[in-house]
Amino acid sequence: MSYADITIRDIFEVTRSGKSRENKYEIAYAWVEAENIMELRMLISSWFDLLESGEADGRHPSLNFTATQEEADHVIDELEADFTLERARFPDSDPNNGPGFNRLLPHSRVAFLEEIREKLKSSEQITDEANKRVNSGEVIPPEQ
Q: 44-58 pLDDT, tens per residue?
A: 999 999 999 999 999
Label residue 15 by pLDDT band (50, 70, 90). confident
Q: What is the dihedral of CA 45, 71, 101, 38, to 10 degrees?
A: -10
Lowest mean pLDDT among 12-26, 28-42, 62-76: 12-26
Residues 6+ apart with CB under 8 A from 7: 38
**Residue range 79-136, pLDDT digits in tens:** 988 888 777 776 666 655 667 899 999 999 999 999 999 999 999 999 999 999 999 9
Residue 1, pLDDT score:
42
Give the start-to-end residue ranges of the domains of the chain: 3-135
- The structure's pTM equals 0.84
